[in-house]
Amino acid sequence: MQRFYLPFLLLMILVFQGVALDFLPESLIADKWIIVPHWILIFLILISVFYDLESTYYSILYAILFGLMLDIVYTNVIGVYMFTYGIVTYAIHGIRKVLHTNYFVALLLGIVGVTAADIGIYIVYWFIGIHAMSWNLYLIDRLVPTIISNVIFLILLYPIVKPKLLKWSQGKFDRKQ
Amino acid sequence: MLFFRKKRLFIILIGFILLVGLIGFSLRDRDELTTAEQFLKDTVGWIQGIAHVPVEFTTTIFSNIDEIKNVYKENQVLKERLGKYKLLVHENQELKIDNEELQSILDKTESIKDFVPIQASVVSRSHEQWFKLITINKGKQDGVEANMAVITGEGMIGKVQTASQFTSTVLLLNGFDRSNRISVSIDVADQDKDPSGFIVGYDEESDSLLLELTEYDSKVNKDDLVVSSGLGGLFISGLEIGKIKEVNPDQYGLTQVAYVEPSADLYAMNHVIVVDRVMPTPDEEKLEEEE
């Protein structure tokens, strides 16, 4: 039963990402700011930090699977989210080995991950001509608000999810520490 | 250690090839989605339909409270207007009957204005705002097809981009480009013949649609109403699109370009109507001939 918790939670986050913008006041979106929720990525980073062992790659598997689902459900172009989320989670999984797992590391990895993923998405979409936004405009209008909003989400999610993830991880891999 | 580095490089390269392949696959000009995509969109759409109810309730509660404050005043004004409407309704009925009689004399039963409305609710909006997409909860099973116009009470908001079995994806007006033009006519008050043109895109800076007028010398004023003409073959005629904000000659001086402010609010809508045109569209005609 426990093995279904993570995919189920991720699916719920995927669904709620579609109505995320309704929660924000309209003046904020209609104006010039573009706020993109990367909630799935935030959750994947937490999985990678607290659930995965060094030798298991569940976070990357879920990154590819749910990245693909994001692509199909919310965009026209398949593969962009799958690729960027996959690579970013892979990198985070690698960095995690050198750092201790605590609150600040999770926060730092969250900021780094969201920044890297959003820049990656910007580059790929720019390359295939989805948008024609200049780098400076992108930096101010999209990247900064996106990072801030996602870090807020991470701070809210962290205390709820961390103990659960550690427990499930222990149950699954039978960690003796 | 070297082995691992090679493996890592290998994985990243394979990922890159996969990315290019998938992008190439999805960027083709396609109207139909694969079965797997349809299935996924329908499943997620179904869950979104359930999740959307409490979300809509909580997000609209504040605006509802705001509205309650003004209800009394509005009610007074509306009651006053209601009296005037009765006369209008009567006049309208007379004209309608007249029109029907005259058309039956002409033996003309189909009109470019006729449509079947399909009511739908918006269940989600793409979180990636570079794609101006929303998902609605009606699909092929309810008669929705690609390229149908989508409207709200205030005016046109977009067109159906792809339809799955139970949900469909709608491209909003502010995501339109040259590959999905709308042919429109401008309702100028003091002229008999309405000037025509095409909506060719959306200007992000001024938040308005770009309208290319067909004739250089047509006179168009500020605040004139822009409606679809139905001559593009996809939409019905008479759908309100917006109001003219400003008219300029285009960059080569060959035509005029007008900026049109959309009538409908493209950011806040919960209920929409899909317009199923009764007159066959050119694609359907071709198919029938082939059969």
CATH code, domain carrying B253: 2.40.10.350
pLDDT at A115 over 70: yes
Cα of A90 to nearest chain B Cα, Å? 10
Higher pLDDT, B215 or A162: A162
| SS3 assignment for chain A | CHHHHHHHHHHHHHHHHCCHHHHCCHHHHHCCCCCCCCHHHHHHHHHHHHHCCCCCCHHHHHHHHHHHHHHHHHCCCCCHHHHHHHHHHHHHHHHHCCCCCCHHHHHHHHHHHHHHHHHHHHHHHHHCCCCCCCHHHHHHHHHHHHHHHHHHHHHHHHHHHHHHHHHHHHHHHCCCC
* Contact call for A11 and B131, based on CB within 8 A: no
Mean pLDDT value of segment A9-32 = 78
Please, are residues A37 and A153 in contact by the beta-carbon 8 Å criterion?
A: yes
* Contact call for B59 and A23, based on CB within 8 A: yes
Token reading at B37 = 């995509």
In a domain, B219, yes or no: yes
* Total domains in the fold of chain B: 1
Which residue out of B31, B56, B127, B203 would a mutagenesis test of the A interface target, given it has the greatest number of A Cβ atoms within 10 Å? B127
Mean pLDDT value of segment B101-128 = 82
Ranges of beta strands (E only) in chain B are: 115-125, 133-136, 149-152, 155-163, 168-172, 182-187, 196-203, 208-213, 225-228, 240-249, 256-262, 271-277
Name chain B contacts of A76, Cβ cutoff 8 Å.
26-27, 131, 133, 161
**Chain A, 84-113: which have a CB under 8 Å from a chain B CB?**
86-87, 90
> Distance (Å, rounded) from C-alpha B146 to C-alpha B41?
15
Name chain A contacts of B12, Cβ cutoff 8 Å.
87
> Distance (Å, rounded) from C-alpha B213 to C-alpha B201?
13
Please, are residues A62 and A44 in contact by the beta-carbon 8 Å criterion?
A: yes
* Contact call for B26 and A18, based on CB within 8 A: no
Which residue out of A10, A54, A57, A74 would a mutagenesis test of the B interface target, given it has the greatest number of B Cβ atoms within 10 Å? A74
Nearest CB neighbour to A15, from listed B12, B48, B267: B48
Please report the pLDDT score of residue B94 as a whole number: 92
The helix (H) or strand (E) run that includes residue B60 is helix B35-106
pLDDT at B283 over 70: no
In a domain, B287, yes or no: no
* Contact call for B131 and A20, based on CB within 8 A: no
- pLDDT tens, residue by residue, A144-154: 989 999 999 99
In a domain, B34, yes or no: no
Please, are residues B172 and B158 in contact by the beta-carbon 8 Å criterion?
A: yes
In a domain, B123, yes or no: no
Separation in Å, CA B84 to CA B76, B89, B232: 14, 9, 37
Residue B283 burial (C-beta neighbours within 10 Å; 0-12, 13-18, 19+): middle
- pLDDT tens, residue by residue, B130-183: 888 899 989 899 989 888 899 988 889 999 988 888 999 999 988 888 777 888
Share of chain B above pLDDT 70, in %: 94
Separation in Å, CA B103 to CA A130, B107, B178, B192, B280: 47, 6, 36, 21, 19
Please report the pLDDT score of residue A150 as a whole number: 92
Mean pLDDT value of segment B101-120 = 81
Instruction: Kindly report the pTM of this predicted structure.
Output: 0.82
Name chain A contacts of B18, Cβ cutoff 8 Å.
79, 83
A18 touches chain B (CB under 8 A): yes
pLDDT at B221 over 50: yes
Nearest residue of chain B to residue A121 (CA atoms): B128
In a domain, B100, yes or no: no
Lowest mean pLDDT across A115-119, A126-130, B287-291: B287-291
In a domain, B222, yes or no: yes
A22 touches chain B (CB under 8 A): yes
* Contact call for B133 and A74, based on CB within 8 A: yes
Name chain B contacts of A18, Cβ cutoff 8 Å.
44, 48, 123-127, 135
Q: Which ipTM value was assigned to this complex? A: 0.82
Please report the pLDDT score of residue B274 as a whole number: 92
Nearest CB neighbour to B23, from listed A18, A37, A79: A79
Share of chain A above pLDDT 90, in %: 37
Closest C-alpha among A1, A42, A14, A8 to residue A162: A42
Residues in chain A: 177
Instruction: Count CA atoms within 13 Å of residue B106 on its CB side.
Output: 10
Closest C-alpha among B175, B147, B119, B157 to residue B235: B147
Nearest residue of chain B to residue A37 (CA atoms): B127
* Contact call for B44 and A14, based on CB within 8 A: yes
Mean pLDDT value of segment B16-30 = 85
Mean pLDDT value of segment A24-48 = 82
* Contact call for B59 and A124, based on CB within 8 A: no
Token reading at B213 = 């007028």
Angle at B164 between CA B158 and CA B166, to 5 degrees: 95
Residue B123's contacts (CB-CB under 8 Å, 6 or more residues apart) are A18, A19, B45, B48, B49, B52, B135, B136, B137, B167
Please report the pLDDT score of residue A177 as a whole number: 47
A17 touches chain B (CB under 8 A): yes
* Contact call for B135 and A18, based on CB within 8 A: yes
Residue A19 sits at φ, ψ, to 5 deg, of -110, 5
Nearest CB neighbour to B22, from listed A11, A15, A79: A79
Mean pLDDT value of segment A43-64 = 89
Lowest mean pLDDT across A111-120, A146-155, B196-205: B196-205
In a domain, B200, yes or no: yes
Nearest residue of chain A to residue B42 (CA atoms): A73
Residue type, B22: L
Residue tagged 């780094």 (tokens) = A112
Closest C-alpha among B244, B170, B173, B171 to residue B212: B244
In a domain, B140, yes or no: no
* Contact call for B19 and A80, based on CB within 8 A: yes
Please report the pLDDT score of residue A81 as a whole number: 92
Q: Which domain holds residue B197?
A: 182-262
The helix (H) or strand (E) run that includes residue B106 is helix B35-106
Angle at A75 between CA A69 and CA A77, to 5 degrees: 90
